[in-house]
Structures are given as structure tokens and as C-alpha cells.
Amino acid sequence: MNAFESLGLQENLVKAVSDLGFENPTPIQLKAIPVLLSGTKDFVGLAQTGTGKTAAFGLPLLQLVEPENRYPQALIVCPTRELCLQICNDLVEFKKYARNIQAEPVYGGASIVMQMRALKKGVHIVVATPGRLIDMIERKAIDLQKVKYVVLDEADEMLNMGFRDDIDFVLKNTLNRESIWLFSATMPPTVRAIAQNYMDHPKEVTVGQKNTANVNIDHQYFITQAHAKFETLKRLIDFNPGMYGIIFTRTKVDAQDITEKLVKEGYTIEALHGDLTQQQRDRVMQRFREKSIELLIATDVAARGIDVEGITHVINYELPDDMEVYTHRSGRTARAGKSGICISICHSRETYKIRQLEKMLNVSFHRLDIPGGKEVCRRQFFHFMDKLKSAEFSHGDYETYLPDLEEKFADVSKEEVLKRIAALEFNHLLKYYENADDLNVRFDRREHRHDQGSQRDASRRADHSSFRSDNGYSKLFINLGTKDGFYKASFLQFILDESNLKKEVLGKIDLREMNSWVEVDRSAAQKMIKSLDGTTHNGRQIRMNEADGPSKRPYEKRKKTYSSNR
């Protein structure tokens, strides 16, 4: 018997998943499908994105709805338009041999009239984002009175996004439902409250973090020589003032060595490893949590389960071999709906490991250039100037010194004062980076092609690997996407407005959740990079560079304020 058949699924669905190449059910499918098919009233599935949970609830729904009744019998609520469309697409695949079942998406940012029209034709399953759904309910454009099954997908994400009241509203408008199936990656008290308020002794199943990486993480890697790793680490720390991060090493000895070397060079950093007593570890963690130290060097064992809010970066000083270890490390950032960056410092022979991780985790890794000395200095410089500009001085007794100060600086211009302040703060850094080496490993052409080839292979869904497209466009990477609230039109508007370019310069746009790729006429590419790279959008610093090519960072606009690590 086919493994899906033995879960109780009917033939047409088994055939459809087999067409999709699914050989065996994933753990969440194994645990959820039989329970949901058995008519269990309420259900909680704790599973991350990427675990196959769409099929875990989608297949049972397709089996349970009655095709002859063309009204909404199942309602799936999910946080974003992209997920809504993705779920619908998956349902279409799954119901390939059950064409008499209709599933329709309902989401904001598209014509409500068209969606209302589609619903009117008769639909069995509605997949909706909360805002548009409520709009539909209020306009009486959707009848949820006969909805039997309500699925809340990515419940924690919906609550993080502030949809609490909307979910309450939806649940209060589906009073004849028989079941709520709630799926969530985590079970914070807010999600637990929904289960308590609306569900009746739900059956709860949990699956581990298999084959998944948090979608809010930007995975970056930098290639250098083995002997230049420490220097690369320093450069990356210096290039990211305000970094609140954990650096992972394989061994306690490495953790201790690197910590000592960094402390000697003036960094505020501490180590967390198994040779410390519990008391010492607690103290280190307390200082890290309070941000008295903003960088921690840790071994995997010591960092197990660290849950600190707001970690911006995780750095793998060495790439771990094991996917689980990588997932655990990177999962220290991008918690509670925030985004984060996971950096891996690799040597050239390790690119195959990156490809493996890409495949196993089903995410793309981005190779970036290790910044040069000048770039680091500019970054630090403008960071400091931002701090200077936003320094709080209302509590000091500065007014009393002002007359003396004014007298002292009477013949010094504002520009000169700024230069002197900069010199005081930066002379040491400028000197240090004056003749800084290029730490990047440049592939020869053959290797480079190979690298690009395998990258294309690994991230089959898109080819972002070439330095330049062949069609007169440069392909640019930008770390903005739908997660930042963009859809295609608003994204185009934004990059064109910021760069003051006309839409004729644009080629293909590949808008993803966390990052996007934009084809820009070669003659306009640098202007766009200059206008956007280093600026901020909703508090997030924008990074734009040629896809997998050398990033040329302009520094005219730095708005974000950081606190220094030094």
C-alpha cells in the first residue's frame, strides 16, 4: 500500500501527490492527516514552514468537503498574500483529479470585485488573509455560515503581525464550524490563548525543525583564505556597527582564543563555552541580554536554546557540517517575527557545503564580497556621524559651558569642528585600514563558472548568479521583499522614486519574501545602487549590489543610528 494511502487518503489525492513526486509523508503529514481525517474536532499542529504542512491540512480538507455543495465549507486563514496564493496553488495541484472542488484566494492588494465574482460562482474552500476577509464579511460578500473547518495557518506569524482582533472577528463569524485546525511554528501565550478561548480539547502534535530554516533569515557567505578568517571576522564586525550577534566556533579552544584576540584589539566581547561554571555562564548571558556586551562567542553546546530577543547577526566562524547545527545556530536570530542575518565565513573549497545546505534547507545563500578597508571606514564614519547628530543633550548642563565654548571656537568653522571630531574618533581606524588587504578569494574563470553553475543548480527556482545578464541589463540584488510590505507595483515605485530613474530602465523583477532581484539597464545600474544601498526603509538598512558581483557601496546616505561595538 502506498504510504499516503495508508494514512486514509482517497485514491485521487494519493495519485496527485505521487504526480508531485512526494514518495513518503513528512512527519507532520504522518501525524496530522489520519487525525484530521478521523473527524477530530480541534487540532493544533506545531510545525515550521517547509515541513509540508500545507498538504497536512490541505489533503484532508479536499477529502472532507462535499463537492455537491458549492458553498464555503472550509476557510483557511493565513498571514500574507504570498502564502495565500501558495496554499491555493498547492490545493490546485492536490485536487488535480478532483476537479469538482473549487478553492479561491481572497487577499488584499488585488481587485475585490473580481474576488467577489469568483466567490459567487460557488466555492468549497476559501483561502484568505485576515484584512480582506474581514472586508468581505463586512460587505456581506462571503457567507461563512456553513463553514465546517477553519484552518489558522502560521498562527504565530499572524499574531506577530497584529492580526489578533481580526482572528477573533473571523472566529466569531464562523459560529457553525465544527473544527479549528491551528498550525503554528511556535506556541507563545497569544497563540495558546486562541486555543484556550476557541478550541475544545484540541489534539496537539509537534514535529521537529526538520528540513527548514526560518524564512526571515538572510543567509550570506563570504569566501576567504583559511589564514584570513580572523581578519575577515573583524572586518565583518567593523562593517556592521551596532551588530548584536553571536559568533559560533566549533571548539571551546577556538571560542576562547578568538575572544582573547578580539578583546586585545579593543572589542567588547565575551565567550560562552563549556569550561565556564554555570555561574560564569549566567553572568555572561546576563551581560549579553542587557547589551553590556553586544557580541558573544559561543560553542554549539553552550549556546543551546539561547533565546535572546533582537539578535541581528549570527556568524559561523566555521561552517558546520550538519544541517541541524546550522539551523540551530541561524535560528538564534530572526526570532519573534523579526528578520536577521546569518553569515558564514568559508574557504573556497567549502562552497559545496553551501550548496548542500541550500538544498537541504530549501533556501538561497548569497555570496557577498568581504568589504574593503575604505568601505569599513566609511560605514563606521557615517554611523558615528549619525550618532553625533542624534545625541541626546537635553539632560546635561551644557548651556552653562556654551559661552566659553563659543569663545573657544569663535574662529573655527563648523566644517572644521566636524573634521576635528572625526579625526579624534577615526584616525586610529583610518590608519588601521589604510592599506587593508582584499580578503576575498577571487575564483579563476573556470572555477567561477563552476561555482555559478552549481549555484544555479541549487537554487533552481531562479538564476541570480551571473554578474551581468546578457540582455543589456545588470542584475541587482536588494534585501527587500514582500516581507517589507511590498508588492510588485509598490516595489517598482519605491526603487524608481528613490533612484529618480524612469521605469524604462527596468527589466525583469523577481520579488521574493526577503530579497529580490531587479534587472536594470547597465547604464543606470550604478545610479540605482548608489541611490539605494545604505539607505533605510522602515528601519531596515537596504543593501543593494550587483547579484553575486562586487558590491560597490556608496555612503552618501546613512540614516540608521547604531551604537558602536568598540
60 binds ligand AMP (CB under 6 A): no
Would you count residue 18 as binding ligand AMP (CB under 6 A)?
A: no
Burial of 353 (0-12, 13-18, 19+ CB in 10 A): middle
Contact by Cβ (8 Å): 467, 454: no
**Cβ neighbours of residue 59 under 8 Å, at least 6 residues apart?**
4, 9, 13, 17, 29, 33, 94
Q: Is 52 in the site for ligand AMP (CB under 6 A)?
A: yes
In which element (H, E) is residue 127 found? strand 125-128
Which CB sits closer to ligand AMP, 76 or 518? 76
Q: Which of 46, 55, 213, 439 is close enough to bind ligand AMP by CB under 6 A?
A: 55
Contact status: 27 vs ligand AMP (CB under 6 A): no
Residue in this structure with the C-alpha cell 548608489, named with its chain if needed = 530
Phi, psi dihedrals of residue 179, rounded to the nearest 5°: -140, 150
- As a whole number of angstroms, the distance between CA 185 and CA 49 comes to 7
Cα separation, 163 vs 10, whole angstroms: 35
Q: d(Cα 80, Cα 336) in Å, to the nearest integer?
A: 16
From residue 423, alpha-carbon distances to 238, 434, 564 in Å are 18, 14, 16
Segment contacting ligand AMP by CB under 6 A, of 22-30, 164-172, 256-264, 325-333: 22-30
Q: Say how many residues touch ligand AMP, by CB under 6 A.
A: 11
Q: Give the CA dihedral 238, 239, 244, 249, nearest 10 degrees.
A: -70
Closer by beta carbon to ligand AMP, 395 or else 460: 460
Q: Which of 94, 477 has the CB closer to ligand AMP?
A: 94
Q: Which stretch binds ligand AMP (CB under 6 A): 25-33, 308-316, 369-377, 505-513?
A: 25-33
Between 51 and 299, whose beta carbon lies closer to ligand AMP?
51
* Least distance between ligand AMP and beta carbon 183 (Å): 9
Does 26 interact with ligand AMP (rule: CB under 6 A)? yes
Is residue 406 a contact partner of residue 467, using CB atoms and an 8 Å limit? no
How many C-beta atoms lie closer than 10 Å to residue 318's C-beta?
17
Q: Count of CB atoms within 10 A of residue 343's CB?
A: 23
Q: What is residue 491's three-state secondary structure?
A: helix
User: Which residue carries 517575527 as its cell?
Assistant: 337
513 lies in the binding site for ligand AMP (CB under 6 A):
no
In angstroms, what is the minimal distance from the CB of 49 to ligand AMP?
Answer: 6
Q: How far apart are CB 115 and ligand AMP at their closest, in Å? A: 23
The region of 46-54, 184-192, 273-281, 518-526 touching ligand AMP under the rule CB under 6 A is: 46-54
The piece of 43-51, 60-68, 178-186, 375-383 that touches ligand AMP (CB under 6 A) is 43-51
Residue number with CB closer to ligand AMP (44 or 262):
44
- Write down the least CB distance from residue 127 to ligand AMP, Å: 13
Closest alpha carbon to 274 in 230, 237, 304: 304
22 binds ligand AMP (CB under 6 A): yes
Rule CB under 6 A: say whether 54 interacts with ligand AMP: yes
Q: Residue type at 537?
A: H
Q: Are 154 and 87 in contact (CB under 8 A)?
A: no
Using the rule CB under 6 A, is 49 a contact of ligand AMP? yes
Q: Which is nearer to ligand AMP, 3 or 496 (CB)?
A: 3
Compute the least distance from the CB of residue 60 to ligand AMP, in Å: 13
Q: Which of 9, 13, 51, 475 binds ligand AMP (CB under 6 A)?
A: 51
Characterize 249-258 residue by residue with b for buried, 16 or more Cβ atoms within 10 angstroms of its Cβ, and e for exposed: bbebebbbeb
The answer to the question of residue 230 lying near ligand AMP (CB under 6 A) is: no
Binding of residue 105 to ligand AMP (CB under 6 A): no
Q: Of 7, 43, 53, 258, which one interacts with ligand AMP (CB under 6 A)?
A: 53
Helix (H) or strand (E) holding 294: none
Q: How far apart are CB 417 and ligand AMP at their closest, in Å? A: 56
**Interface residue list for ligand AMP (CB under 6 A):** 22, 25-26, 29, 49-55
